[in-house]
Amino acid sequence: MRMPPDAILRPALIGTLAAWMALVVASGAFAAISFPAVRELSPLVPSMPVMSESHWKVVAGVPAQRNFRLVQAAGWALGIGSVLLALGCRGMRGPLAAVQWISHATAIALLAATQFIVMGPLDRLGFDLHEAMRRGDLEASLAIDRDFTAIHRLATPMMSAMLVALLLVAVAGLMRAPRPAAADTRSAP
């Protein structure tokens, strides 16, 4: 007996969405744990003569940048993979299909917005802050830190909205699964 493609694609789709959600949650958890932990250590970086109370941001931010870049790249791979898998799945039409596709498009749009509105600028500002602090330029360091903080405030709501969209895609995808044909329940004489 040949297995229908949906029996393979739908679990792969749900697995891909689950991995994407786990990646988003893990990324947020990494930041929520590592930044306060480094802040409590109050590190001082001798090569940065200004804003000693903010050295923790640079000390925690350097490895975090690498983590966030990796998360974004994996997010793109999982996002593209989930769309391709969703295209291959069968299912009912109607409002549930609309919810699934609108939520999927929203998740991809939020991934792009996070990349270009939050992560890219934060990456650049983190580097600029590090360099300004290293030069001893207090005025530039303070201005960059304010810009960084303003953009950073967008990260949590955008990532939370992406998680909600992904959850809607997964739930709608599960609910849209085609029902197997009912077996003939009549007994043969």
Using a cut of 0.85, tell me whether the model's pTM lies above it. no
**For the chain, how long is the longest CA-to-CA vector?**
93
- Dihedral, CA of residue 70, residue 76, residue 77 and residue 80, to nearest 10: 170
In tens digits, the chain (189 residues) has pLDDT values of: 555 577 788 899 999 999 999 999 999 999 999 999 999 999 999 999 999 999 999 899 888 888 899 999 999 999 999 999 988 887 667 788 888 899 999 999 999 999 999 999 999 999 999 899 999 999 999 999 999 999 999 999 999 999 999 999 999 888 866 655 554 445 444
Which of 75, 70, 47, 68 minimizes the C-alpha distance to 59? 47
Q: How many residues does the chain have?
A: 189
Which of 7, 79, 5, 63 minimizes the C-alpha distance to 31? 63
